[in-house]
Amino acid sequence: MWDDAFPSSLIGLREGLEAGLIVSILVATLVRADARSRLPQVWTGVLAAIALAMSFGAVLTFTAASLSATAQEAFGGTLSVIAVAFVTAMVFWMRRSARSLSGEIKEKVTGALAMGSGVLILTSFLAVGREGLETALFLWTTAQAAGESAGPLTGAAIGLILSAALCWGLYRRVLKINLTKFFTATGAVLIVIAAGVLGYGLRDLQEGGVLPGKAAYAVDLSDSIDAGSWYSTLVQGVFNLTPAMTWLQVLGYAGYLAVVMTLFVRGLRATAPKPASGKAAPSPDAATPARRRPAWAIPVAVVTVPALLAGLAVAFGRPKPAAAHTVAVSEKDCGEGFTAPRPGRQTFQMRNTGDKTAEVYLIDPATNAVYGEIEGLAPGTTRALVATVAGGTYAWRCVPNGGTPVTSEAVRVTGGQAAKAVVPVSEDDLSGPLAQYRTYVDDGLAALVPQTRALADDIRHNHLGKARTDWLTAHRTYAALGAAYGTFEHFDQKIDGRADGLPDGVHDKDFTGFHRIEYGLWHGEPATSLTAPAQQLAADAAGLRKAFPHQDFDPSDLPLRAHEVLENTLQFELNGDTDEGSGTNLATADANLAGTRELLTVLRPLLTSRSPHLLPTVDADVARLQKLLDSAHHGSYWLPVGQLDATARARVNGATGQLLEDLSPVPALLEIRKSA
């Protein structure tokens, strides 16, 4: 919390001191002009400004809460950029005006005294209101960046308390502060903080789809920097610098910092202070007003009105939640209680009125496209199904376990924007891709068997140098068959098992396969101790090839592995966790990418018909990652992961992470549904 509190405490201190100085000058001027009776008018304006700032913060929070996730990102990013503009203007204005602030305010107060109470209230309101609005906007953006409000609000409170204490000390003349130096020093720090807020705002605009390049990472140190460490949290909280930043963020941050800090350091020559008026205007209190209002009336009114307006905006602006529709699910009365809903996001309470556990889908009966679903709805239970409804035809499909699927009567909805739906996939749809992929795996196993035999022969004849080369060839062949790992059953542990969890680690008798041989070849073991493991590997590869045609291959594994293979690559290979001495993790990652590419090839027709824009994005991600892996490959040599420099490693991790993010919809798009 404290790392998020620092930027807010600084803005609270600066803005509080600026507003406090103005109020102090107002009060001092009135006291010296023997117009103490006018002080309530000053406090009335101050209270009105505070109420306006708090109401502004409430409206910002409400507005963001009532937007969609994407719109929230765009809204927050826009306000972050605006906040940076305000803070930048405030920093330069205060640097230029610090010396002459007192004289300018005294002139305004003198004029206000002569023009009546309304003008004095307006003077104090405008003097404090600007700082209040800037503070509210900056606090809101820093809270958005922090993801919580406790730290920023605590920091702001500390800063405001300190500023109030400083202003009291200055007013009582027990403190002396060089305000020009103070605002210069804090201004420089605020420029650095504002650069981070700008970077955060640009990222929000990218996430909200307003600006391009959300996948174009300039730096991604997520793998090498612990985001939860105290130093990482401090840097992120204070400067809004994150381990992964896009090119736009980096350019915006660096460009703002370079330009604004240069101008600030050069400095703008402070204008000479204007001479204060020689005499204070005579107090208008000499004239007795005909009728006095209660002293509390105006302060209460100016505090209540902005707060009331903000409350009305929140109350009447909030979309009314639609009443949930209760819909029956069973073979007998599927869809009973379903009427045409309004367009928009709707919640349906699905009640299983039958005696069998069921699945239920909200579908377009013409295409079987699915808008929402619940699986495993037990008899007598009710669960909520949330779906976005737009113009079109809708019906419920109830699929009881062991029963007959039933489709309800359709209803027609008019109006609203298009709603996203998923065209269901059946086992028949995946049978063609599965047959193609089984052929690919069978061909790979056919190549693996002689490769492992050659490796065993190398070791048996003590040709350990050649064995290292043949080991990598065979291991890459096996690694490219990633989607079949779940099908290989116990063979996978024998062929590519790890020493993790074994009682004796790498020396355990159950440590077998590629990694056992890798450990021995790269740790100086003699051929005699590796001959038996190598022969066992060749035998297991031959056994797998023989067993594979008869092994069950769940069709739903194909779309799952399209994401999971590279997920394991990022988790294990790119961290070097599976390296037993060869330093060839990037070669294995390259083979995993080849296997993923083959999966996407067989799934391409299904994906193209369901999400036309997904594969072009994924293809670009694959090409980017392939290029990075190729740059670490020189002839037969692969650069070990640990020898990549920080930038190269961040790029590989970032490219893999982006590819995984863009592949993440594949399992849901190609999930086998009983509604098909």
Low-confidence winner among 74-88, 170-184, 241-255, 529-543 (lowest mean pLDDT) = 170-184
Q: For 396, phi and psi rounded to 5 degrees?
A: -105, 140
Q: Which residue has the higher pLDDT, 34 or 188?
A: 188
Confidence of residue 468 (pLDDT cuts 50, 70, 90): very high
Asked whether the predicted pLDDT for residue 110 surpasses 70, the reply is no
Mean pLDDT of the chain: 78
Asked whether the predicted pLDDT for residue 281 surpasses 50, the reply is no
pLDDT for 322: 43
Confidence of residue 121 (pLDDT cuts 50, 70, 90): confident
Most confidently modeled range among 63-77, 154-168, 315-329 = 154-168
Asked whether the predicted pLDDT for residue 659 surpasses 80, the reply is yes
pLDDT for 440: 95
What is the β-pairing status of strands 344-352 and 325-329?
Answer: parallel
Confidence of residue 153 (pLDDT cuts 50, 70, 90): confident
Mean pLDDT computed over 498-521: 92
Residue 422 DSSP class: B
Separation between Cα atoms, residue 41 and residue 120, nearest integer Å = 6
Low-confidence winner among 13-22, 257-266, 408-417 (lowest mean pLDDT) = 13-22
Asked whether the predicted pLDDT for residue 264 surpasses 50, the reply is yes
Instruction: Dig out the tokens for 497 from the structure.
Output: 């098992």
Low-confidence winner among 294-308, 409-423, 531-545 (lowest mean pLDDT) = 294-308
Asked whether the predicted pLDDT for residue 439 surpasses 90, the reply is yes
pLDDT for 419: 64
Instruction: Dig out the tokens for 252 from the structure.
Output: 């915006």
Task: Give just the sign of the alpha carbon dihedral 580, 586, 592, 598.
Answer: negative
- Give me the half-sphere count of Cα atoms (radius 13 Å) on the Cβ side of residue 121: 14
pLDDT for 299: 46
Confidence of residue 434 (pLDDT cuts 50, 70, 90): very high
Confidence of residue 129 (pLDDT cuts 50, 70, 90): low
Most confidently modeled range among 102-111, 171-180, 453-462 = 453-462
β-pair partners for 373: 361
C-alpha distances (whole Å) from 26 to each of 12, 109, 149, 238, 590 are: 20, 7, 33, 34, 71
Q: For 485, phi and psi rounded to 5 degrees?
A: -55, -40
Q: Contact at 8 Å (CB) between 245 and 219? A: yes
Separation between Cα atoms, residue 454 and residue 636, nearest integer Å = 18
In which element (H, E) is residue 340 found?
Answer: none
> What percent of the chain is predicted at pLDDT more than 70?
67
C-alpha distances (whole Å) from 160 to each of 157, 287, 372 are: 5, 38, 50
Prediction pTM value: 0.50
pLDDT for 58: 67
Q: For 330, phi and psi rounded to 5 degrees?
A: 180, 170
